[in-house]
Structure 1
Amino acid sequence: MELLWILFGCIILLAYTLEAVTGSGSIVIALSLGVLYLPFDKILPILVALNICMTSVLAFKNRKSIDRKLLLTVILPGMFLGTLAGYFAKPYFDDVILKQVFGLLIVWFAARELWRMYHQHKDVNRPLWLTKTITFGAGITHGLFASGGPLLVYAIAGTQIDKARFRATMVFVWFTLNALLTVAFLIDGRMQPVLINVLFYIPLLVVAVKLGNYLHEKTNEQHFRVAIYSLLLMTGVILIISRYLK
């Protein structure tokens, strides 16, 4: 078991390094790889707590760039209600089914991003009601997997927001919602058994940020994104068929 947690530490280092390079995706990457051999309920609280450590600093540094109108009228209401719905619905799902649903989400997201990059596709504006509906769906996936990013990015891509405000707003959303999930995990008792793991993995975040910043300056970000999405695509397929591999 100790070896598995060491391996999970390597996954965390990889995931947060890639987030430092590209700006997003740490929980999606770490959860999709970690859940192949560790249970959801063990690793999800760890990843949520670690994400708070990283996003709290970024949210404070970029607080002036946050799009408050979009945040307060569209993102937070839908994400908050959706996260609560996903959190309370999770106990009614079998772990194997959750893995497959998560795998489907990962495959859709990775395939969509690879297709967009290949075709240089640009999103078009959507009606406000559709953006709010997709945002609520993103909240549900965040409550289930702490991975609302794929759907939320898809929802917000159809609005008029520049890159700087988009990044600052997303970071604040993850900090807020993951703080909410952390409180929920403390209340339901899932956080306490893994607090020692969180403390053990925190130094990896420092290494990941420094390594990610170095790689961001020295390598082609486009190549990194192709590698990430290809890895996620393969991992999603494995999650979908995991019940048939036993």
Structure 2
Amino acid sequence: MTSLLTPQEFLFLLVVFIANTVESMTGFAGTLLAMPASMQLIGVDEAKTVLNVISLLCCIWITISCYKDTNWKQLFKISIYMILGMIVGILLFDVVPVSILLKFYALLIIFIALRKFFAKKDFTLSPNILIWIVVMAGVVHGLFLSGGSLLVIYAATALKTKKEFRATLAPLWVILDSFLFINQVRLGHVNETTIPLILWSIIPLILGIMLGIKLFPKINHQNFLKLTYILLFISGISLLLT
């Protein structure tokens, strides 16, 4: 990478800013929003590596600032099941063609966006099904760092308040993203291409966190989620047509 940013890299930094504004407000969905566009702008492995480090830094900040609201029992339970799923996701990424995984991923986020946007009321699932959803969230996170979209189905039941939701999911991503970072280092994905992008991304990361802090107490939660689902749908369609 040269000292000057390419147009694709500049757009990627804009995506990082938007994603971390979302992440700092909700404790999830930032990487899910960022991943489809980022994979097209800088490549699959590069996007996974850079966004993982940036998400890790953002969630470390949330964890430190909101630790008093963390549900530690649920954090431990979710972490165990998601790590099991992540191992499966990492193995799948190594053996299944990326083109097939990308189409599956695109269809998944389109389905989630439409289901969430048009849902009239919450639906009740059995405890066993909820646990399997957590495991599947781990699989998706191992593949594309985007397990939050599935995990929120469980978290919305287990975590009762907005503050507890945010404060419990953030340290979860710290645990999981640290695990993924170690694997990315092992695979050589933290290299001369991704390290400069990580350093550049710290600027929009900080700006996104600052904006998220200001918006968190002001924004209407339901309207914000509706906007998030619209952005997810657009991201999924663009990825499906790639």
**How high is the TM-score relative to the length of structure 1?**
0.88
For 1:36, what is the secondary structure of its paired residue?
helix
State how 1:1-246 maps to structure 2 within 5 Å: 2-72=6-76, 74-116=77-119, 119=120, 121-124=121-124, 126-159=125-158, 161-193=160-192, 194-216=194-216, 220-242=220-242
Letter in 2 for 1:168: A
Residue 57 of structure 1: how far off its partner (Å): 1.6
Letter in 2 for 1:181: L
CA distance in structure 2 between the partners assigned to 1:240 and 1:176 by the alignment: 30
CA distance in structure 2 between the partners assigned to 1:22 and 1:140 by the alignment: 21
Deviates more, 1:175-184 or 1:219-228: 219-228
CA distance in structure 1 between the partners assigned to 2:215 and 2:177 by the alignment: 27
- The answer to whether the 8 Å contact 1:131/1:156 transfers is no
Structure 1: unaligned runs, 5 residues or longer: none
Letter in 2 for 1:152: L
- The answer to whether the 8 Å contact 1:17/1:209 transfers is yes
Q: State the identity as a percent.
A: 27
CA distance in structure 1 between the partners assigned to 2:69 and 2:234 by the alignment: 35
CA distance in structure 1 between the partners assigned to 2:135 and 2:146 by the alignment: 13
The change in CA–CA distance for 1:151 and 1:217 in structure 2 (over 3 A counts) is closer
CA distance in structure 2 between the partners assigned to 1:198 and 1:97 by the alignment: 28
The change in CA–CA distance for 1:220 and 1:65 in structure 2 (over 3 A counts) is closer
CA distance in structure 2 between the partners assigned to 1:24 and 1:80 by the alignment: 17
Residue 2 of structure 1: how far off its partner (Å): 1.8
Residue 166 of structure 1: how far off its partner (Å): 2.1
CA distance in structure 1 between the partners assigned to 2:111 and 2:232 by the alignment: 10
Residue 199 of structure 1: how far off its partner (Å): 1.1
The change in CA–CA distance for 1:225 and 1:163 in structure 2 (over 3 A counts) is closer
- The answer to whether the 8 Å contact 2:27/2:169 transfers is no
- The answer to whether the 8 Å contact 2:20/2:58 transfers is no
- The answer to whether the 8 Å contact 1:21/1:221 transfers is no
**How high is the TM-score relative to the length of structure 2?**
0.89
- The answer to whether the 8 Å contact 1:22/1:225 transfers is no
For 1:62, what is the secondary structure of its paired residue?
helix
Residue 23 of structure 1: how far off its partner (Å): 4.1
- The answer to whether the 8 Å contact 2:70/2:164 transfers is yes
Partner deviation per Cα, 1:157-187 (whole Å, 9 max, x = no partner): 2336333222211111111000110111011
Residue 109 of structure 1: how far off its partner (Å): 1.7
Q: Number of paired residues? A: 237
Partner deviation per Cα, 1:3-60 (whole Å, 9 max, x = no partner): 2111111111121123334443110111022223432111111000001111112112
